[in-house]
């Protein structure tokens, strides 16, 4: 009782002081803050240094707080040792219990400490509401090279932004939208990181794999979201799943159409070999060294392009799968094998006189597997039937049959070349008629001419040479195919002004080998019909092919090293799975009515000099309306 009266009188004499928000205290001012097992030795050390020993029992907590008023004026050393100790509770419940026991605030906003002196009335309330004893969890010291203030003064703690900038992995993991295109949604990359001894946190793995599964987009989604002759331009009403304001990783920007460079260069090697070995072209005195140089360049290009795309298959398989389901890009999956076939046809005599027949079977096996898949989809009534996805790039899947037949016949094979020639001829006729009809369902056919139309010339040109090798002479069948190719070539050449104004892309390389193929077929024809007209035509078509490839080579170098936009962001593989909801139109029509699309199509085609207005008029839908 006397002790309480002394404390109450002390409270009345001292003015009320509002505590500061943050108060620096030493660990020995709070009882039971950080106790260790060998507390006795530590207490003896503290007593020798002039510090008040720390009490451990819960009954002495309040008494230690009362006695602390006698030691307020005693100087306190803030650094006991070169170590950092952190005491943390085992659960949020203990945080509440410890705060209830040791955070010294009264119910009416009056503090229990005033300049280090305990409020007696509040202390009594605290003592009366004493909580049961809880288990204590003690931290262990973490030795450091220097104390925290010395590290701050010496600038040993780097800034957080600087440390993140020095760690590119943190920057790469910030944007997780690229992870959905990685192989197995980034699992392979994490496994490689674990093998290097740098495992990634499981939390990042959980966040990454939440939305890792990507649906296979139907072919209609590509038609709805993309436009252009190559379906590589995003419509204004669509959005991407990848950021548009930053450059994507290189492998994501590396398209399958890059193999078009290999097609253009390897076909040039074949043309120069034909110029050097054809009797009708002896007056040009073409050296075989040109063929050898171009063949070496073509072999190096095929190796480099194949290696880079193989890396894309390994690390970004989801992006490769989206290219495979793209109605235009899927045809370029024949390009690598056609390039290898061209490389075998253009091999210099100094390298190999005769190639083993086993090479033909190795190269034609993947072509045959792709044809089973693609041609089967053309015949079926699904989303990828030929009447819906027909476009000039489908000729790449046809040319592979004729190039394979030409190489097999050159090796002395009989049945295999005829087999592939028959397959190519049957499907070329169907594709040729479908493209000429321009059915309303052909959403991929461009309204104007584009370099892709030169692929019309490729199949008949190579077919004429293949049949010549099979029959042994440039007979009537070979001449029919050659004349068809020559007429298509001239029909496109006289409209050269229509090919202006298109954005350059690597796919243009794939459109150069048909011109080279027409020149080679003309040289073969001039060997049978030798006159001034055939020779002049051979030289002219060869010069055009050389100039075209040279111009494309210079343009590619400029875009690669000067403009540095040879590989822009590949929009075609990053379209969203669902179309973005658009706002209401200026005209108010009933939702779901077929008149809405008819008016949109009419306005779209009617604004371009009244061209193709008939294409905008579609028959009314026969689907019943939902009630």
**490-509 pLDDT tens trace:** 998 888 776 776 778 888 89
Write out the two tokens for 565: 């936009």
State the average pLDDT for the chain: 74
Segment holding 234, helix H or strand E:
strand 233-234
Percent of the chain with pLDDT over 70: 57
Write out the two tokens for 184: 């197995």
530 alpha carbon, distance to own chain's centre:
54
Tokens 């252009």 locate to 228
Greater confidence (220 vs 151) lies with 220
What confidence tier does 17 reach under pLDDT thresholds 50, 70, 90? low
pLDDT tens figures, 573-582: 999 887 665 5
| Closest to 239 measured CA to CA, from 582, 618, 595 | 582
Q: What is the pLDDT of residue 581?
A: 52
Distance CA 273, CA 505 (A): 28
Q: What is the pLDDT of residue 536?
A: 96
| Closest to 568 measured CA to CA, from 240, 246, 228 | 246
Q: Which of 6-10, 399-403, 423-427 has the least mean pLDDT?
A: 6-10
| Closest to 615 measured CA to CA, from 600, 602, 599, 596 | 602
Q: What is the pLDDT of residue 167?
A: 54
Distance CA 470, CA 272 (A): 22
Q: What is the pLDDT of residue 29?
A: 61
User: What string of DSSP letters covers 435-496?
Assistant: HHHT-TT-TTS-SS--GGGGHHHHHHHHHHHHHHHHHSS--HHHHHHHHHHHHHHHHHHTTG
Distance CA 405, CA 29 (A): 93
3 state SS for 178-198: HHHHCHHHHHHHHHHHHHCCC
pLDDT tens figures, 157-194: 445 444 444 555 455 445 677 778 887 655 555 565 66
pLDDT tens figures, 25-72: 665 565 655 555 455 555 555 555 554 444 444 444 444 444 444 444
Decide: 82 and 143 in contact? Cβ < 8 Å: yes
The CA distances from residue 431 to 442, 458, 525, in Å, are 12, 13, 26
Per-residue pLDDT at 344 exceeds 90? yes
Which residue segments constitute the domains of the chain, with CATH numbers given?
A: 239-439+449-576 (1.50.10.150)
320, HSE (Cβ side, Cα atoms, 13 Å): 15
Q: What is the pLDDT of residue 353?
A: 84
64, HSE (Cβ side, Cα atoms, 13 Å): 17
Q: Which of 335-349, 573-587, 598-612 has the least mean pLDDT?
A: 598-612
| Closest to 289 measured CA to CA, from 269, 303, 319 | 269
Distance CA 52, CA 112 (A): 21
Q: In sequence order, what are the residues at sequence separation of 6 or more whose Cβ sits closer than 8 angstroms to the Cβ of residue 88?
A: 137, 139
CB atoms near residue 13 (< 10 Å): 6
Q: What is the pLDDT of residue 407?
A: 96
| pTM metric for this prediction | 0.65
| Closest to 274 measured CA to CA, from 288, 293, 294 | 288
What confidence tier does 444 reach under pLDDT thresholds 50, 70, 90? low
Greater confidence (601 vs 107) lies with 601
Q: What is the pLDDT of residue 24?
A: 57
Q: Which of 56-65, 141-150, 586-595 has the least mean pLDDT?
A: 586-595
What confidence tier does 151 reach under pLDDT thresholds 50, 70, 90? very low
Q: What is the pLDDT of residue 354?
A: 87
Q: Which of 24-28, 302-306, 584-588 has the least mean pLDDT?
A: 584-588
Q: What is the pLDDT of residue 7?
A: 47
Q: What is the pLDDT of residue 196?
A: 62
116-121 mean pLDDT: 48
Per-residue pLDDT at 620 exceeds 70? no
Decide: 394 and 327 in contact? Cβ < 8 Å: no
User: What string of DSSP letters covers 134-158?
Assistant: --------EE-SS-HHHHHHTT-S-
Q: What is the pLDDT of residue 594?
A: 43
Per-residue pLDDT at 115 exceeds 60? no
Burial class (CB in 10 A: 0-12, 13-18, 19+), 283: exposed
CB atoms near residue 434 (< 10 Å): 21
Greater confidence (173 vs 535) lies with 535
Distance CA 260, CA 201 (A): 41
556-564 mean pLDDT: 92
Greater confidence (97 vs 434) lies with 434
421-443 mean pLDDT: 85
Decide: 32 and 134 in contact? Cβ < 8 Å: no
Distance CA 527, CA 212 (A): 59
Distance CA 534, CA 527 (A): 9
Per-residue pLDDT at 607 exceeds 90? no
pLDDT tens figures, 466-476: 999 999 999 99
Q: Which of 193-197, 238-242, 290-294, 333-337 has the least mean pLDDT?
A: 193-197
Greater confidence (97 vs 381) lies with 381
3 state SS for 48-117: HHCCCCCCCCCCCHHHHHHHHHHHCCCCCCCCCCCEECCCCCCCHHHHHHHHHHHCCECCCCCECEECCE
Q: Which of 104-118, 361-375, 494-508 has the least mean pLDDT?
A: 104-118
Distance CA 235, CA 227 (A): 7
Greater confidence (92 vs 76) lies with 92
Percent of the chain with pLDDT over 90: 41
384, HSE (Cβ side, Cα atoms, 13 Å): 18
Per-residue pLDDT at 489 exceeds 70? yes
Greater confidence (550 vs 146) lies with 550
The CA distances from residue 281 to 30, 269, 301, in Å, are 103, 16, 28
Q: What is the pLDDT of residue 340?
A: 97
Q: What is the pLDDT of residue 258?
A: 94
What confidence tier does 299 reach under pLDDT thresholds 50, 70, 90? very high
Q: What is the pLDDT of residue 600?
A: 56
Greater confidence (340 vs 179) lies with 340
Tokens 């029919």 locate to 480
149-162 mean pLDDT: 48
Per-residue pLDDT at 397 exceeds 90? yes
The CA distances from residue 105 to 472, 539, 593, in Å, are 106, 100, 70
């Amino acid at each position: 009782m006397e002790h309480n009266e002394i404390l109450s009188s002390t409270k009345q004499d001292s003015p009320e002081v509002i505590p500061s928000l943050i108060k620096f205290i030493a660990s020995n001012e709070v009882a039971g803050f950080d106790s260790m097992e060998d507390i006795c030795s530590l207490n003896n050390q503290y007593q020798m240094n002039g510090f008040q020993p720390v009490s451990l029992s819960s009954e002495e907590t309040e008494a230690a707080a009362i006695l602390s008023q006698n030691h307020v004026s005693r100087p306190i050393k803030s650094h006991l040792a070169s170590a950092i100790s952190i005491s943390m509770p085992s659960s949020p419940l203990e945080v509440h219990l410890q705060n209830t026991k040791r955070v010294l605030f009264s119910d009416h906003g009056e503090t229990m400490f005033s300049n280090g002196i305990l409020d007696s009335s509040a202390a009594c309330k605290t003592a009366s509401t004493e909580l049961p004893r809880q288990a204590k969890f003690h931290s262990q010291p973490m030795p450091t090279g220097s104390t925290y203030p010395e590290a701050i003064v010496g600038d040993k703690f780097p800034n957080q932004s600087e440390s993140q900038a020095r760690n590119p992995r943190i920057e790469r993991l910030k944007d997780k939208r690229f992870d959905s295109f990685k192989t197995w949604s980034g699992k392979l990359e994490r496994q490689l990181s674990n093998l290097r001894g740098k495992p990634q946190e499981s939390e990042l793995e959980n966040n990454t794999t939440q939305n890792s599964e990507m649906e296979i987009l139907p072919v209609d989604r590509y038609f709805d979201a993309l436009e252009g002759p190559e379906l590589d331009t995003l419509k204004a009403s669509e959005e991407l799943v990848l950021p548009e304001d930053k450059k994507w990783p290189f492998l994501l920007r590396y398209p399958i159409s890059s193999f078009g460079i290999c097609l253009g260069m390897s076909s040039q090697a074949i043309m120069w070999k034909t110029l050097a070995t054809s009797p009708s072209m002896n007056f040009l005195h073409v050296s075989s060294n040109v063929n050898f140089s171009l063949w070496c360049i073509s072999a190096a290009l095929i190796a480099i392009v194949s290696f880079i795309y193989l890396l894309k298959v390994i690390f970004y398989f989801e992006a490769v799968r989206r290219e495979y389901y793209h109605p235009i890009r899927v045809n370029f999956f024949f390009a690598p094998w056609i390039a290898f076939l061209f490389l075998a046809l253009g091999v210099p005599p100094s390298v190999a006189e005769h190639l083993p027949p086993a090479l033909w079977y190795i190269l034609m096996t993947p072509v045959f597997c792709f044809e089973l898949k693609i041609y089967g989809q053309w015949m079926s009534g699904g989303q990828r039937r030929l009447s819906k996805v027909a476009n000039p790039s489908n000729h790449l899947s046809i040319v592979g049959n004729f190039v394979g037949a030409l190489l097999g016949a050159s090796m002395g094979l009989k049945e295999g070349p005829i087999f592939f020639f028959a397959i190519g001829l049957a499907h070329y006729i169907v594709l040729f008629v479908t493209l000429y009809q321009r059915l309303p369902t052909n959403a991929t056919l461009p309204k104007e001419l584009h370099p892709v139309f030169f692929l019309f010339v490729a199949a008949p040109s190579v077919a004429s040479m293949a049949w010549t090798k099979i029959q042994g002479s440039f007979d009537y069948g070979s001449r029919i195919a050659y004349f068809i190719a020559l007429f298509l070539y001239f029909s496109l050449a006289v409209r050269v002004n229509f090919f202006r104004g298109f954005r350059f892309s690597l796919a243009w390389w794939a459109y150069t080998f048909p011109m080279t193929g027409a020149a080679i077929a003309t040289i073969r024809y001039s060997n049978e019909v030798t006159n001034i007209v055939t020779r002049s035509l051979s030289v002219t078509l060869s010069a055009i092919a050389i100039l075209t490839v040279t111009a494309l080579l210079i343009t590619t170098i400029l875009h690669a090293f000067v403009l540095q936009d040879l590989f822009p962001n590949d929009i075609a593989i990053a379209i969203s799975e669902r179309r973005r909801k658009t706002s209401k139109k200026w005209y108010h029509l009933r939702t779901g009515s077929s008149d809405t699309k008819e008016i949109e199509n009419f306005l779209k085609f009617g604004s371009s000099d009244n061209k193709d207005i008939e294409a905008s008029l579609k028959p009314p839908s026969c689907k019943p309306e939902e009630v």
